[in-house]
């Protein structure tokens, strides 16, 4: 009876941890999606004195030199209305608007990373065992999770670097080669990172399968 109550409590604790992991994981995905959305969305600014609204571009555009102070200044000087032209709407308001978006995007991205790390740490402590009771399957699962996490970070970082490089309007690299060549070359360079992620996932799945076998063997021995 005591063993049954203990096992029930352990199962309830494990279920609670898994629910919390799912919630934290969902929040991490939402925070990442929000970060990307804010970073890519177009920023508009309004000057109430002259009653006009103008577009500044996105934080991503500013990061890859597709918008910036020179472009905003030139656009303000091209305004046909003298009153609007003298107000320098973009030059005055766009820098703050873009900086705010970059700050929000970084904050949401950092929150997503923290939640992802939190989920990973929770995953490793789903079933806390004494070090002496740690099995080969447990070690394989941990190794697989760590390997896939490193591979995922390297892959995402590489993809972001490729996107920023290809989108850079002023890069002198494209005087010597095409953008498609840069993309293909970047993906080739990323293949080891993607392979690392795939190997980690395979190890995690194999470890989970071995854990199930260990559990079935222990249950069978307990029944005997």
pLDDT of residue 211: 82
Query: Residue 122: what pLDDT?
Result: 64
Same domain for 142 and 120, yes or no, is no
- pLDDT of amino acid 218: 75
* Shared-domain flag, residues 36 and 123: yes
Residue 15 sits in the same domain as residue 85 = yes
What is the value of pTM for the model shown?
0.62
Domain count, the chain: 2
Tokens of 140: 């394989």
Tell me 86's DSSP state: H
Q: Does residue 15 sit in the same domain as residue 87? A: yes
Domain encompassing residue 17: 1-128
Residue that finishes a domain, picked among 86, 111, 128: 128
Co-location of 40 and 151 in the same domain: no
110 shares its domain with 158: no
Residues 134 and 123 placed together within one structural domain of the fold: no
End position of a domain, from candidates 78, 95, 128:
128
Q: Are strands 43-47 and 52-57 parallel, antiparallel or unpaired?
A: antiparallel
Q: Are residues 42 and 94 in the same domain?
A: yes
Contact 33, 12 (CB under 8 A): no
Residue closest to 105 by CA, chosen among 63, 66, 64, 72: 63
Q: Indicate whether 46 and 61 sit together in one domain.
A: yes
pLDDT tens, the chain, 224 aa long = 444 555 555 555 556 667 777 888 889 889 989 999 999 999 999 999 898 999 998 988 888 778 888 899 999 999 998 999 999 999 999 999 999 998 999 899 888 888 877 776 665 555 445 455 567 888 888 888 888 888 888 888 888 888 877 776 666 667 777 878 888 888 898 899 999 999 999 998 998 888 888 888 877 777 66
- Output the six-digit token pair for 205: 């799945």
Are 5 and 99 contained in the same domain?
yes
Dump the DSSP string for 165-192. HHH-TT-GGGGTS-HHHHHHHHHHHHHH
Whole-angstrom CA distances from 215 to 25, 60, 122 are 27, 50, 21
Residue ending a domain, choose from 70, 94, 128: 128
């Amino acid at each position: 009876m005591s063993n049954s109550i203990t096992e029930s409590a352990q199962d309830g604790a494990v279920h609670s941890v898994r629910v919390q992991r799912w919630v934290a994981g969902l929040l991490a995905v939402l925070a990442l999606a929000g970060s990307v959305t804010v970073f890519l969305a177009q920023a508009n600014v309004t000057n109430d004195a002259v009653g006009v609204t103008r577009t500044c571009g996105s934080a991503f555009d500013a990061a890859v030199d597709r918008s910036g102070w020179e472009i905003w200044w030139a656009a303000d000087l091209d305004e046909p209305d003298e009153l609007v032209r003298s107000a320098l709407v973009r030059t005055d308001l766009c820098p703050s608007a873009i900086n705010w978006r970059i700050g929000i995007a970084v904050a949401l991205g950092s929150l997503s990373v923290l939640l992802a790390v939190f989920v990973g740490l929770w995953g490793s402590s789903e079933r806390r065992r004494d070090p002496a009771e740690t099995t080969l399957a447990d070690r394989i699962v941990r190794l697989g999770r760590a390997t896939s996490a490193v591979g995922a970070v390297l892959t995402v970082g590489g993809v972001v670097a490729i996107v920023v490089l290809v989108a850079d309007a002023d890069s002198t690299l494209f005087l010597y080669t095409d953008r498609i060549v840069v993309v293909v070359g970047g993906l080739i360079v990323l293949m080891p990172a993607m392979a690392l992620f795939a190997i980690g996932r395979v190890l995690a799945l194999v470890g989970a399968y071995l854990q199930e076998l260990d559990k079935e063997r222990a249950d069978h021995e307990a029944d005997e």
